[in-house]
Every structure is written in C-alpha cells, then in structure tokens.
Structure 1
Amino acid sequence: MSLVRLNIKGISYSQTQNGAYALILSEVDGDRKLPIVIGAFEAQSIAIALEKEIKPPRPLTHDLFKNFSDRFDIVVKQVIIHKLVDGVFYSSLICERDNIEEIIDARTSDAIALALRFHAPIFTYKNILDKAGIYLKVNPEKEEDQVEDNILLDEVVAEEIENQSSEGNYLGKTLEELHALLAQAVADEDYEAAAKIRDEISKR
C-alpha cells in the first residue's frame, strides 16, 4: 500500500460534538482533507506547537515526552496513520535509537502533537484517504450542502467567533498593553486567550 504525506491545515472547534475539535489534515499532492475529531487537551497541545510565539512556562505532556526522548537520544522519525475502524484512526510512531527502529502504537492526536515537536512527517495509506478523505467546498450555497460541508462551516464559525471576541476585548488596547496581556496569558497557561491576543497583535 502506498503512503500519502499529510500536512496540518488547521484546527477548528466542532459545533456538532461538544468539547471536541476537528483537526484537518491535507494531502500534500492533492486536494483532499482528512478530518479527525480530537479532544480539547490534544487540540491545545497541537495549537501550541504550531504557534511558535507561544511558549508554555512549564512543559506540557507532549513537551515532556520530547525532552525525555532528547535526553535518551530517541528520535521520532515519522508518524503513520495506519488504520481506520468505526471512525477511529489508529497511528504509529516510527522511532529510532542507536540505529534501531521501533514502532510504537499511539492515539492519532498524540502522534501528531509529537510529530510537530520532532519535525517528523505525517503519512497515511492511500486506501484510508480514499475512504475518509473529503473535498472541502469554499462557498457552500445550498442548504443541502450543509451536512457535506460541516467541517468547513465549523471552521468558519470558529474563526468568526474568535474575530468578534478579539475585536470586542482588545480593540481599545495599545500594542504595549497587548504584549503585556499576552505575557500574562502565557504565564497563566491560558493559551486560548494567548492565541487571540497574538492574532490581534498580528493584525496591527
């Protein structure tokens, strides 16, 4: 079976599953997207790894795993999403130490959070992408398209809520005040607020 490389397109709050997030993976040489439902903690960990400007004051679980691996010269070479059963994705970490390769079973959300920290590529098999991959439409216009475009709609709604929240809370703040708020949010480990403040700073 041939492997297909994936990139992370983004994360959006799932309007259909309370407390869950949709991680959107995109095939490198194609237009299909692979949506994976993940929990809030894993979504936060992935988002922090994607946002280079946000540094937690203490290591999160996936950061601890990375630090532990570095200390003992263990490297995650790649992540493979190798199985899909009843809507659940199964993944493996391909690790290496002293030129000896080991395969470790992992939840897909954890595997991707670690792949980001090790700068490791993410792959899946073509048959999994054929089965679960979708094409996201840019401008859904018909009502019957709404179920098909659910992931995209969630992403748009999440972005709109974030923009409104940022504008309402931070519009009257100076850049100096925003940087102070960002530092405080990171210190308080409120990474959701930190991301919003960082977005407002970027807009300026």
Structure 2
Amino acid sequence: MSLVKLTIKGISYSQTQNGAYALILNEVDGDRKLPIVIGAFEAQSIAIALEKEIKPPRPLTHDLFKNFADRFDIVIKQIIIHKLVDGVFYSSMICERDKIEEIIDARTSDAIALALRFNAPIFTYKNILEKAGIFLKTNPENENKSSILDDVLSSPENFGMEETNDSKSSYTQQSLSELHEMLESAVNDEDYEKAAKIRDEISKREP
C-alpha cells in the first residue's frame, strides 16, 4: 500500500463543542484535507510546537517525552496514520535506537504532537485518504488564521479535557444523500469539526 505524505495546515476551534478542535492535515501532492477532531490539551501542545517562539515555563507531556527520548538516544523517524475504524484514526510511531527500529502504537494527536518535536514526517495510506479525505474550499481572506492559536493558548482551564463518545453529535438518522449535502455545507462554512464527524458517519456506511 502506498503512503501519502501530509503536512499540518492548521487547527480550527470547534464552534459546536466547547474544548474541541479540528486538526487539519494537508495532502502534500494534492488538494485533499484530513480533518481529525482532537482535545484541547493536544491542540495546545501542537500549537506550541508550531509556534517556535512560544516556550512553556515547564515541559508539557510531549516535551517531557522528547527530553526523555533525547537522553536515551531514541529518535522518532516517522508517523503513519495506518487505520480508520468507526471514525477513530490509529497511528504508529516508527522509532529508532542504536540503528534498531521499533513500532509504537499511539493516539494520532499524540503522534503528531511528537512528530513536530522530532521534525518527523507524517504519512497515511492512500486508501485512508481516499476514504476520509475531503476537499475543503478555503476563503483566501481567512487563510491567515492567527486567532486560532490565540484560541488554543488562551484557555488553560480547558487543557487536559478528553473527548468522550457521548459528546459527539449523532448523524445516524440521516440518509447518505442527506449526509453528503450536510458535508458539503459544513465544508463551505469551514466547520471542519462538523465535516469530520459527518465524513466519519459516511465512511461507516460506504465500503
């Protein structure tokens, strides 16, 4: 199975669920985007890694992992988002120590937060991108969303919150045609978090 390289396009704050964010991954050699709903703590950690000028006074969990790995000469070589089941992305970290590679399972949000700290590339399989990738119509006026990082970094009371299954909106009552219409509407409104959830519901029904 061929791998597709991804880059981080940005983080979008959820307008419908307090403390939830959508991480937008961009296909390097294409126009598809892969939205992944993440929690506030992971969003904060990724945002800080993206903003090189920001250094927390004490190491965050992902910074601690990086310091620990550096001390014992462990390097993360790459991240692979290798599976999508019921709307949940599964990822692996390819690590190396003394020229010996090991594969470690990780939540996708954690894996990406660490990939930024190790300057490791992010990949997914072509079939996952074909199943879960969407074409987002961006508004050039909104391309520079510096306020996104402000949203992530200005709400410390939300950091550490974890998403629960009962917090997710249910789209089980809608037909496939209705879901596709809702997906297009969410994309046009740049509601990435909603688009990701609708996309996940469609992927459950379509082979």
Q: Normalised by the size of structure 2, how large is the TM-score?
A: 0.69
Greater gyration radius: 1
Gaps of 5+ in 2: 140-179, 193-207
Partner SS for 1:46? helix
Alignment match, 1:162: none
- Partners in 1 of 2:94 and 2:121 — Cα distance? 10
Gaps of 5+ in 1: 157-204
Alignment match, 1:153: 189
Alignment match, 2:80: 80
- Partners in 1 of 2:15 and 2:95 — Cα distance? 35
Deviations 1:1-29 (Å, cap 9, x if unpaired)?
00000000000111233321000000000
Partner SS for 1:131? helix
| Letter of the 1:57 counterpart | P
Alpha-carbon distance change, 152 to 74 in structure 1, aligned in 2, over 3 angstroms: farther
Alignment match, 2:55: 55
- Partners in 1 of 2:59 and 2:188 — Cα distance? 32
| Letter of the 2:51 counterpart | E
Shift of 1:101: 0.2
| Deviation larger for 58-67 or 130-139 | 130-139
Is the 1:14–1:20 Cα contact (8 Å) retained in structure 2?
yes
Cα RMSD for the two superposed structures = 1.8
Is the 1:34–1:129 Cα contact (8 Å) retained in structure 2?
yes
- Partners in 2 of 1:53 and 1:84 — Cα distance? 34
| Letter of the 1:150 counterpart | A
Partner SS for 2:184? coil
Aligned length: 152
Alignment of 1:133-172 (within 5 A): 133-138=133-138, 147-150=183-186, 153-154=189-190
Alpha-carbon distance change, 59 to 152 in structure 1, aligned in 2, over 3 angstroms: farther
Alignment match, 2:93: 93
Alignment of 1:123-138 (within 5 A): 123-138=123-138
- Partners in 1 of 2:138 and 2:41 — Cα distance? 29
- Partners in 2 of 1:123 and 1:72 — Cα distance? 25
Identity of aligned residues (%): 84
Deviations 1:82-111 (Å, cap 9, x if unpaired)?
000000000000000000000000000000
Alpha-carbon distance change, 56 to 152 in structure 1, aligned in 2, over 3 angstroms: farther
Alpha-carbon distance change, 20 to 76 in structure 1, aligned in 2, over 3 angstroms: same
Is the 1:14–1:154 Cα contact (8 Å) retained in structure 2?
no
Shift of 1:151: 5.4
Q: Normalised by the size of structure 1, how large is the TM-score?
A: 0.70
Alignment match, 1:166: none
| Deviation larger for 11-20 or 91-100 | 11-20
Shift of 1:43: 0.3
Structure with higher RCO (Cα < 8 A, 6+ apart): 2
Alignment match, 1:6: 6
Shift of 1:149: 4.7
- Partners in 2 of 1:26 and 1:149 — Cα distance? 20
